[in-house]
Structure formats: C-alpha cells, structure tokens
Amino acid sequence: MSGKLVLRGAETERDGLRAQAWRRACAFRKQEDGSLLIFGLFCFVMMLLLAGVALDVMRFEELRTTLQNTTDRAVLAAADLRQTLDPKAVVKDYFAKAGLAAPADSDIVVNQGNFNEWRTVQASVHQDMPTWFMNMYGIKTMTTPGAGTAEERIGQVEVSLVLDVSGSMSNNNKLVNLKPAAKSFIDQMFSQVEAGKLSMSIVPYSTQVSVGPGMMQYFANTAEQTNSSCLEFGASDFTTTAMQPKTTDVGQPAAPGDRVYQRNGHFDPFYTTTSIESQGLWNCPPDVSAAQNANNNRTVMAFSGDQTALKAKIDTLVASGNTSIDLGMKWGSALLDPSMNPVVTRMIAAGTASANFASRPYPYSNHEVLKVIVLMTDGENTTEYKLRSAYENAVNPSLLRRNSASTYNNSTSVNQYSLWDASKNQYWVFALGQWRAQAWGDGVTTSCTTKKGKTTCTDTNDTGYDGVHPMSRTMTWPDVWKAMSINYFARYLIYPVYGTSTYNSWLTSASNPVANTAVVNTTMDTYTLSLCSAAKTQGVKIFTIGFEASTAGQNLLTACATSPAHYYSAAGVNITTAFASIASSINKLRLTH
C-alpha cells in the first residue's frame, strides 16, 4: 500500500509540472511585449536601403547637371565665330577643365560656312557612375547623358546711324567726343560681320536732312532751286517708313502717278548777313564742295559698305542749326525700308553702291536680316522752317532787281538793288535813294560798243553810276534767299523804305510772310514717336542715345527705343561706351534673330 502511494504522488507531481509548463507556454504565446522591435528593425534596414538609393539618384542628378552644363558651355564657346581655336579642341578642353571625361572626336560634330559666316557645333557625351547602394539590387552603375548644340549664324545686317549735328553739338566738346565713338562703332560692326553682308547709312540731321544731289535725283521734286537738297514731308509721311522714289530714270521727267516731293527752300532763317554763301546758317546745307562750305559735310551717306569711307564721313561732320529728330528718323527708317530698293538698284548701276547690296533694303519678311537704327541726340526737338509757297517758287519774280554791272560782282552793297512796290508802280532805287519808274540799270540805252567779244552799253538815265554797264535783271525768290537771309532782307531793304511796323512783320514768326515756322517741337515729337512705332512694328530694332540730352529729349528717346533697355544715357567720353554696348547688343541680336 505504501509503495503505491509513493508512485501516485510522483505522478501527481509530474502532472503539476506539465500543467505549469503548459500554462507558461500559453502565456508566452499570448505575450505581445517586444513584438514591434523586430518590425522596427526591418523598417530601419529598408529605410537605410531607400536612403542609399536616393543618395545614388542625387549623385546621378548632380553629375548629369554638371555634364550638361559643361556640354552647353563647351559648344557655345566652340560655335563662337570669333573663336580661333579648333572647335573640337575647345569642347574637349572645357571637359578637361571641369574634371570630366571628354567626348570622343566622333561624338563632336562641327559644320561651318566657307567664309566662316556660320558655325554649328554638336556634342554628345555620357559617363558611367558606380553606385553605392543600388548595387545591392544588382545595379552596379548608372549612365549619365549629356548633349548640346550651338549655332552662330551671321545674316544680313542693315544699319542707319542717325546723328544729331545741331549747333549745340559744338558745345562741351560733344562733337569731338562723338566722332571717335561713332568710328569705333563702325569698326566693331565691320569686325563682326562678313564683308558684303553689312550696309550702313549715316544720317546727320539738324534743322533739316540733306540727302545731297546724288540721292535727290532719284526723287521727283518741285525743284524751285538746285542749290540744296532737302525734302519736306507732310503729317502722313511720318506714319510710315516708306518713301516713293520716282519710277523713271535719272534725268527723265517723273511718270504720271509718281510722288512729287516739295523741295525745301534754300534760305537762311537765322542770321542777318547778306553774304551767306560763306557766312550764313542754311536751313538746308548747300550742295557745294566741302572747300566752299563746311556744312556740305552734313549730307547723308547712304548704303555704304566701305568702312574707311564711313569713318572719313564721321570725321568731316560739323555742327550747326536747330534740332529736327523727326526728320532724322524719317530718313533713318526710310533707308531701311524696301521701298528704297529701286534707288539702290540705280546706285549700283551708277557705281555709287556695292553690287552686294542688290537686294537691299531687304523685305521686312526676310527674317535672316537684322535692321537697326541707332538714334543719337544731345537735346530735343526745336523748330523747323519752311518757305511759304509764294516765296519759294522760281517762276514768280521777287520784289528785287539787281544791277548786273561787274562792279557789284560779289558785292554786299544794297546799292545794287531796286525794290518794287506794286501800290506805287515804282522801284525804290537804293543807289539814288528815290522812287523811280525804272530799276537801277534799266535806263534808256543810247549806244553800245563791243570789245574783245564783250558788249557794254551806256544808260543815260543812270547818271549816278559810271554810265557803262549792262542792264539789271529781275531776281527770283530763290535768287534772293541765296544772296541774303530773310532777316537781312527785312532789316536792310524793307526797314529803310517802309519803317518799323512793316519790318517787324517780317521778323515775327507768327506773321512772317516768308518763312513759316511750320513744324514746332510738340508736333515734331508726335511725328518722331509715330515713326518709331512704324519702324518697330516692322521689326526694326531701335537703339537710342541721349548725349547730355535734356529731360524732354531723354523721355522722347526712351519712348522711341525698342525697349527701355535699348536706351543709353551718356556724357562726355562715355558715349564711346554707349556705342560699344550697342554694337555688342547688335551682335547678340544676330545670334538669336
């Protein structure tokens, strides 16, 4: 009995241990403490791997950006037409300097024109980047690509250099400073453009713009005089850049339907001198040689491709007169307008323009052409003068007759004149100081003699003279204004005969019967801006320079320019910098045009 009891007790103890172990196992199975630790460790490992992938991607993008930027810089430098080194060598050098593997020769393609007028450089490159973390996924390297193409192409360039040569340009060495600046601009432009692809016109302007007899012959005009070559324009002419040359050949009458322009009078509205051939201030510079009158150097030089001649023209410029920016802009824009092509064709035939310019001015629709106006002034619009129609026509006789005796050749004496008064039906003879029925020199001829082919006659009525001289002749109004200024006529011929009241009427612009202040500054500003707008609409790039200009002038130039960035303010020798900046800007425009 006792043995069985012992065995049963042991079994009972073992059963208790099993139950306890089972309960603990069940408790462990239900225990949740620490379960997130394993999941957290798994997520951490995954985050490290993803961060590594992101790091490899960042390294790839950094290398790709560096490679692309280097490629862009390299092809741009190699395509520069001023680059004298081998284009492929330039590309490779850029990569070497950046610490990158240079592309092979076969990956660099260079094409260029026979005259170096254009160049295209294309480069493609790639570089392998070993990965740091992505190799765990089997990606050992990543390939970074780079490609770029650059082109510089020179098209046709047409430039109008519109320069203020009014009287104020003689102050503070402004004209002195302008000349080297303008010549440097010419040099810079010709250095940037292939020979034959740049045409330049110089348009000096003051009170008027003289195109010179060479250019004037291509336009039908009223031709009251042939001493100077300026045209007058109406309001509608300032709404367009176009001109209307005559359709007939030089020397031939205008064809029906041809525009006949009013020729500006040859007169001096400013001074009181009589000998104005050498001393006067002409509204329009005379058509004479520079030796006879320095103002002749203010004529237009059109459609030139001669770098030396253009600079020589700049050197001869002189300053005088008022400021008519509207007229400068009219001719500056006209010389870029396709309507002037017939003129260029005739200039080529006459040998005054290069055969390379046969298609110039090119149509506005030709986008390979860059048309540029550079407009400079040191002030603002002032006034423009025109003769009233009754006093500009060569057909109508003037009030004066001039004694034709050799004694009065080149004379400034009023004694050579007789002044007609229709109300009296008589002449005031200055030599005699009296009214007479006949002009001085128109007396009764009693006898004539001829010696060595020269005939002289005795005029018995003109006893106050030497009695041996030719007859007098009627002066046309153009003859009068060629011989004396309007002010001289009023002061020395009208005043002694009629007194102060009549004299004053000739000097007051509002009632002056001869010179009409037809265009004033506010109207001229409107005309200028209208032309600027018309030119910009056609794609013409307008750069403007205010050279120590007034506020009104600066405002006008800013509004005229293609954008505010195309306006330059300059003073003193700094005008050279302004011209240089414009030349550089024109070059950049050509690269992107």
Q: Residue 551: what pLDDT? A: 95
From CA 414, how far away is CA 418, in angstroms rounded?
Answer: 9
What's the rounded mean pLDDT across residues 172-194? 93
Q: In this predicted structure, what is the pLDDT of residue 163?
A: 98
The secondary structure of 408-470 as a DSSP string is GTT---GGGEEEEETTTTEEEETTTTEEESS-TT-S-EEEEEEETTEEEEEETT-TTS-SB--
Q: How far is CA 65 from CA 58, 69, 72, 122, 356, in A?
A: 10, 6, 10, 18, 46
- The pLDDT of residue 482: 86
Mean pLDDT of the chain: 84
Q: What is the pLDDT of residue 568?
A: 97
Can you give the pLDDT at residue 279?
63
Higher-scoring residue by pLDDT: 52, 352: 352
Q: Which long-range contacts (CB under 8 A, 24 or more apart) does 97-105 make?
A: 98/66, 98/70, 100/66, 100/67, 100/70, 100/125, 100/127, 101/125, 101/127
In the chain, what is the greatest distance between 2 CA atoms, to the nearest angstrom? 201
Which of these ranges, 177-181, 285-289, 411-415, has the smallest mean pLDDT? 285-289
Residues 3-43 have pLDDT tens digits of 454 555 566 666 777 777 777 766 666 666 655 666 666 66
Query: Could you give the CA distance from residue 126 to residue 550 in angstroms, rounded to a whole number?
Result: 58
Q: Rounded distance, CA 203 to CA 317, Å?
A: 11
Q: What is the pLDDT of residues 513-566, one digit of tens each?
A: 676 666 778 899 999 999 999 999 999 999 999 999 999 999 999 999 999 999
pLDDT (0 to 100) of residue 437: 86
Q: 107-121, 138-152, 285-299, 422-436: which has the highest mean pLDDT?
A: 422-436
Which pLDDT score is estimated for 463? 42
Tens of pLDDT, residues 77-97: 888 877 889 999 999 999 899
**Predicted pLDDT of residue 62:** 76
On the question of pLDDT at 135 being above 80, the answer is no
Who has greater pLDDT, 567 or 490?
567
C-alpha angle 426-429-434 in degrees, rounded to nearest 5: 80
pLDDT-derived band at 467, boundaries 50, 70, 90: very low
Please indicate whether residue 152 or residue 220 has the higher confidence score (pLDDT).
220
Q: Does residue 443 carry a pLDDT above 70?
A: no
Return the ∠ at Cα 391 (arms to 389 and 396), rounded to 5°. Answer: 95
Residue 428 scores a pLDDT above 90: yes
| Owner of token pair 């003879």 | 429
* Listed residue (125, 120, 107) closest to 79, CA to CA: 120
Q: 301 near 317, Cβ under 8 Å?
A: no
448's enclosing H/E stretch is strand 445-451
Q: Which of 29, 85, 36, 553 is nearest to 328 (CA)?
A: 553
**What percent of the chain stands above pLDDT 70?**
80
Least-confidence region, from 29-33, 302-306, 482-486: 29-33
Residue bearing the bigger pLDDT, 452 or 131: 131
Report the half-sphere exposure of 235 (CA within 13 A, side-chain side): 5
Residues 334 and 233: beta-carbon distance below 8 Å: no
pLDDT at residue 216, as a whole number:
95
Average pLDDT value for residue range 362-384: 93
Identity of the amino acid at 404: S
Tokens describing residue 175: 């004209």
Q: Residue 327's closest CA among 260, 387, 243, 392?
A: 243
Q: Are strands 472-476 and 397-403 parallel, antiparallel or unpaired?
A: antiparallel
Which of 322, 320, 289, 343 lies closest to 524 in space, CA to CA? 322
Predicted pLDDT at 446: 46
Distance (Å, whole) CA 342 – CA 208: 24
**Which of 96 and 200 is assigned the larger pLDDT?**
200
**Distance in angstroms (rounded) separating the CA atoms of residues 116 and 79:** 10
pLDDT (mean) for 293-313? 85
- The pLDDT value recorded for residue 448 is 56
Query: Is a pLDDT exceeding 60 seen at residue 266?
Result: yes
- Range with the lowest mean pLDDT among 35-49, 93-107, 379-393? 35-49
Strand partners, 157: 198, 370
Question: Residues 20, 25, 30, CA angle at the centre, nearest 5°?
Answer: 125
User: What integer pLDDT is reported at residue 28 of this predicted model?
Assistant: 61
Return the residue matching tokens 């080149």.
410
What is the distance between the terminal CA atoms of the chain, rounded to a whole angstrom? 122
ω before 361 within 30° of 0 (cis)? Answer: yes
For residue 410, pLDDT beyond 80: no
pLDDT band at 466 (very low <50, low <70, confident <90, very high): very low
Task: Look up residue 35 and give its two tokens.
Answer: 């379960």
Residues pairing with 400 in the sheet: 419
Q: Is the pLDDT of residue 465 over 50?
A: no
How far, in Å, are 222, 257, 393, 512 from residue 262 at the CA level? 5, 15, 11, 20
pLDDT level of residue 98 (50, 70, 90 thresholds): confident
**pLDDT computed for residue 294 by the predictor:** 47
**pLDDT at 2 exceeding the cut of 80:** no
**What is the rounded distance in angstroms from the CA atom of residue 593 to the CA atom of residue 577?**
24
Q: Which helix (H) or strand (E) holds 128?
A: strand 118-130
Q: What is the pLDDT of residue 1?
A: 47
Q: Give the pLDDT of residue 421.
A: 95
Q: How far apart are CA 556 and CA 549, in angstroms?
A: 10
Give the pLDDT confidence score for residue 440 in this predicted structure: 81
Q: How big is the chain, counted in residues?
A: 593
pLDDT in tens, 267-280: 888 887 665 555 66
Using DSSP's 3-state secondary structure scheme, residue 539 falls into coil
| pLDDT of res. 30 | 63
Q: How far apart are CA 233 and CA 388, in angstroms?
A: 14
The order of strands in the sheet holding 417-421 is 434-436, 426-429, 417-421, 397-403, 472-476
> What pLDDT is stored for residue 40 in this prediction?
63
Q: Which of 172, 165, 202, 168 is nearest to 185 (CA)?
A: 202
Buried b (16+ CB within 10 A) or exposed e, 246-276: beeeeeeeeeeeeeebbbbbbbbbbbbbbeb
